[in-house]
Structure 1
Amino acid sequence: MIKVLVVDDSPVVREFLVHILSSDPVITVIGTADDGEEALDIVRRQRPDVITMDIHMPKMNGLDATRLIMETDPTPIVIVSGTEDPTEVATTFNAMDAGALAVLRRPAGIGHPDHEAMAQDMIQTVKLMSEVKVIRRWPRKRPAAPTPRTGNMGLARASARIRVVAIGASTGGPPALETILAALSKDFPVPILIVQHMAPGFIKGFARWLATSTGMPVHVATHGESLLPGHVYVAPDDHQMKVEREGKIALTKNDPEHGLRPSISYLFRAVAAVYGADAVVGLLTGMGRDGASELRLLKEHGAVTFAQDRDSSVVHGMPGEAIKLDAAMLVLPLEKIAAVLTNLVNHRGEIRA
């Protein structure tokens, strides 16, 4: 049985979430809490396997509760939000920075046409998160921008001219992407394309949070938009994102891949076709295998490819699949990715330690 603690300040919402979770035979709700202080007490006493966490609560909000739980009694936490307002949603990503694993939109009410699908998505997410081995999180300082240093890492491509960076991420991706972008210089000389798997309704808030927390210009991509150096483009909800030879973004309603739209695989194929060896492309933490085969395709086209290492990944599914396929030229801890990107774009493709 998967033991779940439901935390929300609304009695109606608590009852609703308990009803959904209890409908699955392998999930048992061991308790509920209406604020962060009560949640901390229950976590210490009952040791749940997963926590669903509201953000806006009295006494202690969900952000502070998440931070304290991850510092004292690490437990998989899923943020369940009832708002899609980008300004408010952006605050929920601070909880992911503190160690929460995923953010979900609260399922629509019983009788709504989307209720069943959203409820099943929540159940599936809770089940998946229960398998993640979380570790204690210590308050972290923002990394300083990397300073390129001499010393070759064993891969030199002096003839290459890097023109784009593309990154795919899933579970655990938001704080990983924040770590990377915050460590890049604000005059980073090429555009960065991102596909982040995320529940519908949160991408705008995610982009706003990334822009605020990293200082980089971060956009939700629009159709026909021209790529600019140093700008970050995040694939929007329910669209596939690709690049065209004119250096423009194209959004399509093409079929989902690996059950996903946007799909990392879809973007990576376009980057291989348009940029080939002039790209740096990587897979970060996340479940599944989206993008793994396409990362191998990029490697075959001469691109520099990388995968996040197991120790720094929340879930090593996607990068692990890429490594198995020998698709990643480099396997990197999270804290070194920004330095490698900086050296690649500033040293004509030469990777330095």
Structure 2
Amino acid sequence: MPDSAKTALAHRPPIRLLVVEDSPSVREFLVYLFASDQEIQVIATASNGEEALEAVKTRKPDVITMDLHMPRMDGYAATRAIMENYPTPIVVVTDSTASDDRSTTLSALEAGALAVMKRPTGIGHPDHAATARELIQTVKLMSEIKVVKRWAKQKTPAAPAPDTLPPEPPLMTPAARKHFRLVAIGSSTGGPLVLQQILSHLPKDFPIPIIIVQHIAQGFAEGFVQWLAESSKFAVALAVNGTVMMPAHAYVVPNGFQANVDTYARVTLKKDAAENGHCPSVSTLFRSVANAYGASAIGILLTGMGKDGAAELGLMRDQGALTIAQDKESSVVHGMPGAAIALGAATQVLGPDKIVSLLAGLAQHS
């Protein structure tokens, strides 16, 4: 590291972290873990949601790690209360993938949590260093996110109904009125809510299959799919090897597999190496879509850390596909879409509402 960078780091105030965890041993483990990084300072801990809310009010942390199941006030209720009163970046940290925990975790994301992470493995486990590093890096990045207040649920304005969307959005040109056969979406941090917004506002007879890679913690893909299905008007399912994609269906690639598609709309899943640190990887999927579908595909890269899928969105564009990157204003983290925009890979840069309008309009001509 150059001396100037070291000097800047030395003068940068540490990230103020609140650790919320009801288990004393796990709480101690997390505090020890974060204490190993000089850029993070654990300013307080809490053993339940009520203590967390008070700590946020009085200590004003930069970022919070949030447990799920706690006495007196659970992780979902605490997240909702914090985001309604003292908006602060929240990372859910859990070691359980039980159905109840998956539901609570996704509800916490809906209430405003930015990410869900598996608790790092214990010291001595072969994966300890990697899992600890991933959590620390996520907490650092999330601390820089400028979150906004979430209004109480009853005060949230209703989203526009699908039939109020313009049938032919101004963004669509005559040249864009072609026959599209597949929509491929890549998404990471902040993506679940955007995907929910997009899928819930597409018509139930949306005539183009959708395939999705969402970076999400191991064990939560099934609950994520169920959560999306409950808010969508068409079928949402976890892709399996050999799936033939159908219109009015969305398919989510499961954890631990890389996904490829062929010209017969068939999905192949392989236990393959991670790409860009991810399995599934958006890059793997988009490269496959570019080869199999060419100009008849739509590629969408949503909010997320890193650059997974950015260059491959460019491959899709080179093949004549319609390529879309989420705009900076609506992205929780503009890493992936920002990288695609910098490469010139996106033919459109849009917010979620405009993405819905564009897809709904294009679908009428497919």
- Does the residue aligned with 1:258 lie in a helix, a strand or coil? coil
Does structure 2 retain, via aligned residues, the 8 Å contact 1:282–1:307?
A: yes
Distance of 1:191 and 1:151 partners within structure 2: 21
Does structure 2 retain, via aligned residues, the 8 Å contact 1:33–1:39?
A: yes
Does structure 2 retain, via aligned residues, the 8 Å contact 1:85–1:205?
A: no
CA RMSD of aligned residues (A): 1.7
For residues 59-111 of structure 1, the C-alpha deviation after alignment (integer angstroms, 9 at most, x for no partner) is: 22211211121122211100011211245313211111111111011222333
Amino acid at match of 1:212: E
Number of the residue aligned with 2:87: 74
Does structure 2 retain, via aligned residues, the 8 Å contact 1:107–1:119?
A: yes
Between 1 and 2, higher relative CO (CA 8 Å, sep ≥ 6) is seen in 1
Amino acid at match of 1:145: P
What is the Cα deviation at residue 248 of structure 1? 0.7
Distance of 2:104 and 2:228 partners within structure 1: 11
Distance of 2:282 and 2:246 partners within structure 1: 21
1:33 aligns with one of 46, 57, 61: 46
1:145 aligns with 2:162: yes
Number of residues paired by the alignment? 348
1:302 aligns with one of 290, 300, 320: 320
Instruction: Write the mapping of 1:152-191 to structure 2, written as runs, cut at 5 A.
Output: 152-153=170-171, 155-157=173-175, 160-191=178-209
Number of the residue aligned with 2:228: 210
Does structure 1 retain, via aligned residues, the 8 Å contact 2:172–2:362?
A: no
Number of the residue aligned with 1:238: 256
Change over 3 Å in CA distance of 1:209–1:91 after alignment to 2: farther
Distance of 1:142 and 1:226 partners within structure 2: 35
Distance of 2:49 and 2:204 partners within structure 1: 37
Number of the residue aligned with 1:55: 68
Does structure 2 retain, via aligned residues, the 8 Å contact 1:142–1:182?
A: no
Change over 3 Å in CA distance of 1:88–1:141 after alignment to 2: farther
Does structure 2 retain, via aligned residues, the 8 Å contact 1:210–1:216?
A: no
Distance of 1:5 and 1:214 partners within structure 2: 35
Does structure 2 retain, via aligned residues, the 8 Å contact 1:241–1:251?
A: yes
Amino acid at match of 1:127: K
2:120 aligns with one of 107, 117, 122: 107
Amino acid at match of 1:323: I
- Does the residue aligned with 1:275 lie in a helix, a strand or coil? helix
- Does the residue aligned with 2:289 lie in a helix, a strand or coil? helix
For residues 4-56 of structure 1, the C-alpha deviation after alignment (integer angstroms, 9 at most, x for no partner) is: 11112222221121121112222111111111111111111111111000122
- Larger deviation, residues 202-211 vs 36-45: 202-211
Change over 3 Å in CA distance of 1:69–1:255 after alignment to 2: same
Does structure 1 retain, via aligned residues, the 8 Å contact 2:168–2:361?
A: no
2:130 aligns with one of 99, 111, 117: 117
Instruction: Write the mapping of 1:310-329 to structure 2, written as runs, cut at 5 A.
Output: 310-329=328-347
Does structure 2 retain, via aligned residues, the 8 Å contact 1:257–1:265?
A: yes
1:44 aligns with 2:57: yes
Number of the residue aligned with 2:285: 267
For residues 103-154 of structure 1, the C-alpha deviation after alignment (integer angstroms, 9 at most, x for no partner) is: 0112223333333322222112111211222222234355222533345325
- Larger deviation, residues 27-36 vs 210-219: 210-219
Amino acid at match of 2:189: T
1:11 aligns with 2:24: yes
Distance of 2:278 and 2:322 partners within structure 1: 25
- The list of structure 1 runs, each at least 4 consecutive aligned residues, that deviate by more than 6 angstroms after superposition, is none
Change over 3 Å in CA distance of 1:87–1:65 after alignment to 2: closer
Distance of 1:334 and 1:158 partners within structure 2: 19
Identity, % of aligned positions: 53
Distance of 2:174 and 2:80 partners within structure 1: 41
Unaligned runs of 5+ in 1: 349-353
Amino acid at match of 1:289: K
Distance of 1:18 and 1:215 partners within structure 2: 43
Number of the residue aligned with 2:297: 279
Distance of 2:233 and 2:77 partners within structure 1: 23
Does structure 2 retain, via aligned residues, the 8 Å contact 1:3–1:49?
A: yes
Amino acid at match of 2:133: Q
Change over 3 Å in CA distance of 1:193–1:87 after alignment to 2: farther
1:343 aligns with 2:361: yes
Distance of 1:200 and 1:37 partners within structure 2: 29
For residues 170-224 of structure 1, the C-alpha deviation after alignment (integer angstroms, 9 at most, x for no partner) is: 1101111111111112221121111111222221221122122334422221111
2:144 aligns with one of 131, 143, 146: 131
